[in-house]
Amino acid sequence: MSIRLCKYLADRGLCSRRQASRLIEQGRLQLNGAVASHISHIIPGDQLLLDGMPLPAADTKQVWLYHKAAGVDCNLNPAKSDSLYHQLQQLPVRLHPVGRLDKDSCGLLLLSNDGELTQRLLHPDFEHPKEYLVRTEPAPNAQQLAALAAGVHWQVGPHQYQSKACRVWPAPHGFRIELTQGLNRQIRYMSRAVGLKVVFLQRQRLGELQLGALAEGQSRLLTEQEYRQLRHSLGLSATPADNGVAAG
């Protein structure tokens, strides 16, 4: 079975689809002796080269749980000292963030080289639940919590947004919220819409994965059982398939 080149590279954990597109645009990928294009597909036995050299071997598929600190930017820019890029360089395999947390937020962020799993987690149709702890000024009242749970509207520039109904319950100096949407800075805009200012925002759960006692700035590899369960919960096979394309 053939597979599109960008998807192949992402599924193998060699780079993201966006990075693969850049390599194609730059003419740096060669497929069976010819310069690859955006419509190139690969089948088992094909030869794929980068700058005329065999690609590095794909790392074993992994998912890591990382406790992102506030002030760390999820944009992977090596020129910026606050970029997540520098934390990723300390890990033993090449990983990319699965989604993002805004720079001012902290908490659970998944890191992975499993492109298939990443695409499934980020696809909005699957509505994976994510739980957050939020502290606000002032503390919310019952009416504000009810409004958040029912769904609120906000505008950013010319764009209009509406949150879906969600679970919200009180917490000291704030609230907990479970979302299935992933709109940009959603909780901050939702809070502002009911007269609250977010002063602390931490993602504590994604699906069944909990931040738990993992210290800020630390990461841990999911166990094989956790990884298999995560893939199963996403409707994927327990073990990612090897596409069998020759690296050189």
Q: Could you report the per-residue pLDDT of 203-222, keeping only the tens digit for each?
A: 999 999 999 999 999 999 99
Q: With CA atoms as reference, report the closest residue to 111 among 64, 62, 59, 60.
A: 64
**Comma-separated ranges of CATH 3.30.70.580 domains in the chain:** 63-124+213-233
- Band (pLDDT 50/70/90 cuts) for residue 246 is very low
- The pLDDT assigned to 245 comes to 42
Cα end-to-end span (Å), the chain:
20
Rg (CA), the chain: 20
Distances (CA, A) of 28 to 13, 24, 61, 90, 239: 18, 6, 25, 27, 31
Is 102 catalytic? The answer is: yes
Among 11, 73, 102, 125, the active-site one is 102
Count of positions (residues) in the chain: 248
The 10s digit of each residue's pLDDT in 76-132 is: 898 999 999 999 988 878 889 998 899 999 999 999 988 889 988 988 777 889 999
Diameter of the chain measured on Cα atoms: 66
Q: Topology of 129-206 in CATH?
A: Alpha-Beta Plaits (3.30.70)
Quick: pLDDT tens for 154-184: 999 999 999 999 999 999 999 999 999 989 9
Assigned superfamily of 3-54: RNA-binding S4 domain (3.10.290.10)
The CATH code of domain 63-124+213-233 reads 3.30.70.580
Residues of the chain with CATH 3.10.290.10: 3-54
CB contact at 8 A, 31 and 46: yes
Going by pLDDT thresholds of 50, 70 and 90, the confidence category of residue 185 is very high
- Which residues are within 8 A (CB) of 207 and not within 5 positions of it... i.e. 6 or more apart? 128, 129, 130, 230, 233
| Domain(s) of CATH 3.30.70.1560: residues in the chain | 129-206
From residue 51, give the alpha-carbon distance in Å to each of 8, 12, 205, 247.
17, 18, 41, 13
Mean pLDDT of 121-148: 93
